[in-house]
Amino acid sequence: MPRQGLGEPVFDKMDADLAKALMSIGSVKAVEVGDGFTLAGIQGSVANDQMNKMDLKQIMPGNTRGITSGEQIVLRAYCKPSPQ
């Protein structure tokens, strides 16, 4: 059973903690959480979460506002090539 409710909405966001862990690997130079790079190129009104209340019982799937919901979280780490 997946754990829910990990992270904090302001300072200890789960996606920030996961990105920090991946960035600790020497060759990793970028980290994407979910569709982060795609979302960065569209308007906020399109990318906005569909959550109207700050009610932990109604958190959207994955990682919303820094708190997990028990759904799968997708991370992508981008690494620099090794020297030859």
As a whole number of angstroms, the distance between CA 29 and CA 47 comes to 25
pLDDT tens-digit readout, 31-72: 998 888 888 888 877 776 665 555 444 444 456 666 777 778
Looking at the DSSP bridge assignments, the partners of residue 44 are none
| pLDDT the model gives residue 83 | 81
Give pTM, 2 decimals.
0.64
pLDDT tens-digit readout, 66-80: 677 777 888 999 999
Rounded (5°) CA angle 50-54-58:
60
| pLDDT the model gives residue 63 | 61
As a whole number of angstroms, the distance between CA 68 and CA 56 comes to 10
Nearest to 74 by CA among 20, 24, 14, 32: 32
As a whole number of angstroms, the distance between CA 16 and CA 21 comes to 9
